[in-house]
Amino acid sequence: MVTMKNLTVENIPSEIAHIVSRGARPITITVLTTPKNLSKAGRVKFGNVRKASLINGMLNTDYEASVNRQLTREDKEAEFAVEQNWFTHTDTPAIVAHRNDNTKLYLQVKVEKAIEANYFDGAGELIPYATIHPFLYAKNAGTKQGTDKPVLSMTVAVENIVEFVCDKETYRICKNKYE
C-alpha cells in the first residue's frame, strides 16, 4: 500500500535523513526547473519556459565508488577519484550544500533512468519536443570517468522538488505547512 505524506522544503533534509538511515534507497522524483539555456534573453520566444522531469534513481550512493565499480565491470583500472565540486556534503547523506552558501541545499541522486521530460511555456501550455529540441544544450556524458557507460549523478535544488516516491511512500512537497 502506498501512502502520502506532505512535506515542506524546510523539512526535506530531516525526512531524507530518516529515509537513508536504512542505506541506499530507490527513489522516483518529480522536479520542476527553469532550464538555463532556455531562460536567457533572446534564446526562445516561449516566455518563461519550465521543465518537468520524472527520474528514477538511488539515494545515498557513493558516486566515486559507483564509477569505480562501472570501470571494473568494463575490465578497466578502477582509479577514478572525485575532483572538487561546487558543493560540499552535509551531515545528512544525500543532501549537499552550495560551497559558497550552505543555506542552498540540494538532493543528490544517482540517476538510473530519466523517465520523462516535458517543457511548458509561460502560459503553462506544453511545448512539443520537436519545437524546443533545437534550443536544448547537448548532454554532458561524464567524459572524466573513463567509462563506456557513464554513471549519472544529479543534484536537485530542494525547492525544485515537486514530489518523490521512496519505500512505498509518496512525499508531496508543499509551498507551506498549510497547503
The mean pLDDT value for 147-170 works out to 92
In angstroms, the CA 140 to CA 75 distance is 23
Please write the tens of the pLDDT for every residue from 126-149.
999 888 888 777 776 557 898 999
Q: What are phi and psi of 38, to 5 degrees?
A: -100, -10
Q: What pLDDT score does 41 carry? A: 59
Confidence of residue 25 (pLDDT cuts 50, 70, 90): very high
The overall average pLDDT reported for the chain is: 87
In angstroms, the CA 42 to CA 55 distance is 30
Q: What pLDDT score does 35 carry? A: 82
Residue-by-residue DSSP string for 90-152: -SSTTEEEETTEEEEEEEEEEEEEEEEEEEE-TTSPEEPHHHHGGGSPPPP--GGG--SSPPE
Q: What pLDDT score does 136 carry? A: 78
CA distances from residue 30 to 3, 53, 64, 70 in whole angstroms, order as listed:
17, 6, 25, 26
For residue 2, count other CB atoms closer than 10 A to its CB. 8
In angstroms, the CA 151 to CA 71 distance is 10
Q: What pLDDT score does 45 carry? A: 65
Please write the tens of the pLDDT for every residue from 32-72.
998 876 766 555 667 788 999 999 999 999 999 999 999 99
Tell which wins on pLDDT, 45 or 103: 103
| Residue 3 grid cell | 501512502
In angstroms, the CA 28 to CA 166 distance is 7
The mean pLDDT value for 15-37 works out to 90
Q: What pLDDT score does 113 carry? A: 94
The percent of residues in the chain predicted with pLDDT above 70, rounded, is 88
Confidence of residue 178 (pLDDT cuts 50, 70, 90): low
